[in-house]
Structures are given as C-alpha cells and as structure tokens.
C-alpha cells in the first residue's frame, strides 16, 4: 500500500479520484511547519503539494521512503530539484491543467488596468459617479509583448489577437518559425522592451529570469507602458517596479503574484495605478478539478513504477 501525504489544499476532484484507487491511501495535513513535515516524512511514499509547501533538502532527506513529489500546478521553484534528484525522488507537475484559467486571468487584468474596472467599481460603491476620472485605453491596435512563449503564452496570444492586438514575443528557446506560424514576431529582449505597449510575463523562475523586470529593463520600455504578471512574483524586482509606477515611467500594473506571498511589506500594495489579485491564476472551478485529477494520476502512476507524463527532473 502506497501512502501519500497531501500538505496543501487539493481540489475535491483529486481527493475523490484517490478514494477510488486501489493500492494507495492518503492523508491531507495542511499548514505543517518544516519540523512537523520532517518528523512525519518517513511515513510516506508520495507527497502532493501546491505553492504553500517548500520541500527543501532537509525535508526531502527525511523522506526515507519518498519516491515522488507531485506539484499540483506548473511552477516547481518551491522544490529543491537538486536534492530530489540526489535522493532519487521524481518530481512531477501538471503544466497544462490550469493554463486556460491563467490565460483568462491575464486578459482580465489587462482589461482591468486599461479600463479602470476595479478602481471605478470602488468609486461607484462609495457613492461617487466620476466618469471623467476613468477614461481608459483600448487593447485594439496595441502591441503586446509576451515574455515566455510557452503554452500559456500562446493561449494569451490567441486571446489578445482576438482583441485586435499585435503580438511580439521573447523566448530564447522558441524558433522564429514556430512563432511566425501563430502570426507572432519573435524579438530579442531589448527589441521587445522597446516596442511593446503592454507586457505580460509567462516565464518560470530561473537564474536567468529572476528579477528580469528591474530598473535596467524598465528603462528600456516605452514611457507609459503597462505590465501584467500572472506567472511568478520573483520575475520582478518589486522596488524597481514601484519606483517606475510612482514616477510615471510605467502607467499601470496588474499583478496576481508577488515576490513573497502574502505580500506583506511589498512596495506595490496600495499604489493607485496597481490592480492586485491574490494569486488567482489557477482559481477556476475547472482548473482546480483538472489540477487535482492530473496530479493524482501522475503521482500514482509513478508509485506504480510507470513513467509519468510530466517528469520535471528526468
């Protein structure tokens, strides 16, 4: 009998699937401290997490029977991949299960900051009717710069093109021919920064991409550009972005993710030209069900000696 620990909240569809499977059992224990995790890890063959748990080298080493860590979602920057590999622990994820939800959240924020949706709602709710304060801009004919042209970046592209936007992209791992098939021009980062009206981030956090949005890259952007981030907070130097938004270099930002979450002490919280959401990119009913089901399938397949479909540290 394979025993699985679920240390972050998982969608009910995933739990329902686990109930039907032979040869596995599970326990869901959320909010555990690092010491608490270390103490119980030897009991489990599998670990399912979201963004709330960070299996570091100590936690992974404590899992003497651990065979697989399943990340319900795409980002694995909260997992010590080197430690997992060293201890023979497979890391799997669900890179496409919440992609549509993330793409739609990106467009929602893009529309919101261009048309003052959240701010004008708050004004009307407070009893005001100041239409002249909220004259927005259209997405039509604007240039969208997509940083990270993977699956989600391409879903965002299709939706942006439906609004009549021109899309350019930066991704050193994608060919110009592949981008051209989607009517997208692939540019160098510097050329992208100089040409786009709105930027949207869809990269993972690596040594190359961490804080890639900083004072240097912002200074290469058009005055009055806007930025959307529904990917990872660590892609942005928050202090530099706050300075640019306060000075007027950038017009607005729509942020679903932050460097630390919750974003206590972030200089971006409360700025009048920032719309914030609490990491809702994957928070649709459909995405939650798909993520739960797919991560259970990946983890159980691995525990049964089969090759997982999305093996991160292969």
Of the residues 36, 138, 261, 286, only one is catalytic, namely: 261
Four-way CATH pick for 2-97+285-303: 1.20.5.50, 1.10.3720.10, 3.40.50.720, 3.40.50.410: 3.40.50.720
Q: Which tens digits make up the pLDDT trace of 273-302?
A: 999 999 999 899 999 999 999 999 999 999
Q: What residues does 3 pair with on adjacent strands?
A: 25
Angle ∠(258,263,265) on CA atoms, nearest 5: 125
Q: Which tens digits make up the pLDDT trace of 185-198?
A: 999 999 999 999 99
From 8-12, 62-66, 74-78, 154-158, the region with the lowest mean pLDDT: 74-78
Count of C-beta atoms within a 10 Å radius of residue 204: 17
Task: Determine whether 306 is an active site residue.
Answer: no
Average pLDDT over residues 110-139: 97
**pLDDT confidence of residue 309:** 94
Task: Determine whether 138 is an active site residue.
Answer: no
Q: Model-level pTM greater than 0.95?
A: no
Task: Determine whether 279 is an active site residue.
Answer: yes
**CATH T-level topology, domain 99-276:** Rossmann fold (3.40.50)
Q: For the chain, how far is it from start to end, CA to CA, in angstroms?
A: 25
Spatial contact of 200 and 223, defined as CB atoms under 8 Å apart? no
Of the chain, the percentage scoring pLDDT greater than 70 comes to 100
| Sequence ranges of the chain with CATH classification 3.40.50.720 | 2-97+285-303, 99-276
- How many CA atoms does the CB half-sphere of 92 hold within 13 Å? 27
Of the residues 232, 238, 276, 297, only one is catalytic, namely: 232
Of the residues 71, 276, 279, 297, only one is catalytic, namely: 279
Q: Which tens digits make up the pLDDT trace of 70-85?
A: 999 888 989 999 999 9
Average pLDDT over residues 30-43: 97
Q: Which tens digits make up the pLDDT trace of 77-120?
A: 899 999 999 999 999 999 889 999 999 999 999 999 999 999 99
**pLDDT confidence of residue 249:** 98
């Amino acid at each position: 009998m394979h025993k699985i620990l679920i240390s972050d909240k998982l969608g009910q569809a995933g739990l329902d699937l686990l109930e039907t499977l032979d040869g596995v059992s599970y326990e869901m224990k959320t909010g555990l401290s690092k010491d608490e995790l270390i103490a119980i890890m030897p009991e489990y063959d599998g670990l399912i997490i979201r963004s709330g748990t960070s299996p570091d080298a100590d936690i992974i080493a404590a899992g003497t029977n651990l065979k697989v860590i399943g990340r319900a979602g795409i980002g694995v920057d909260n997992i010590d991949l080197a430690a997992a590999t060293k201890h023979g622990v497979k890391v799997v994820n669900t890179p496409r299960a919440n992609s549509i939800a993330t793409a739609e959240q990106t467009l929602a924020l893009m529309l919101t900051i261009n048309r003052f949706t959240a701010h004008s709602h708050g004004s009307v709710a407070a009893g005001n009717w100041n239409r002249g304060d909220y004259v927005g801009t259209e997405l039509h004919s604007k240039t969208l710069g997509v940083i990270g042209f993977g699956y989600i970046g391409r879903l965002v592209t299709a939706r942006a093109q439906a609004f009549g936007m021109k899309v350019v992209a930066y991704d050193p791992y994608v060919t110009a021919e592949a981008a051209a098939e989607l009517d997208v021009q692939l540019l160098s980062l510097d050329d992208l920064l100089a040409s786009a009206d709105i930027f949207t981030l869809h990269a993972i956090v690596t040594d190359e991409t961490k804080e890639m949005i900083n004072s240097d890259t912002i200074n290469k952007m058009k005055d009055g550009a806007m930025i959307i981030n529904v990917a990872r907070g660590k892609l942005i130097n928050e202090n530099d972005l706050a300075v640019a938004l306060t000075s007027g270099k950038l017009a607005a930002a729509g942020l679903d993710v932050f460097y630390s979450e919750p974003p206590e002490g972030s200089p971006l919280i409360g700025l009048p030209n920032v719309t914030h959401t609490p990491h809702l990119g994957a928070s649709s009913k459909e995405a939650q069900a798909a993520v739960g089901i797919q991560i259970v399938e990946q983890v159980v397949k691995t525990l049964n000696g089969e090759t997982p479909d999305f093996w991160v540290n292969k």
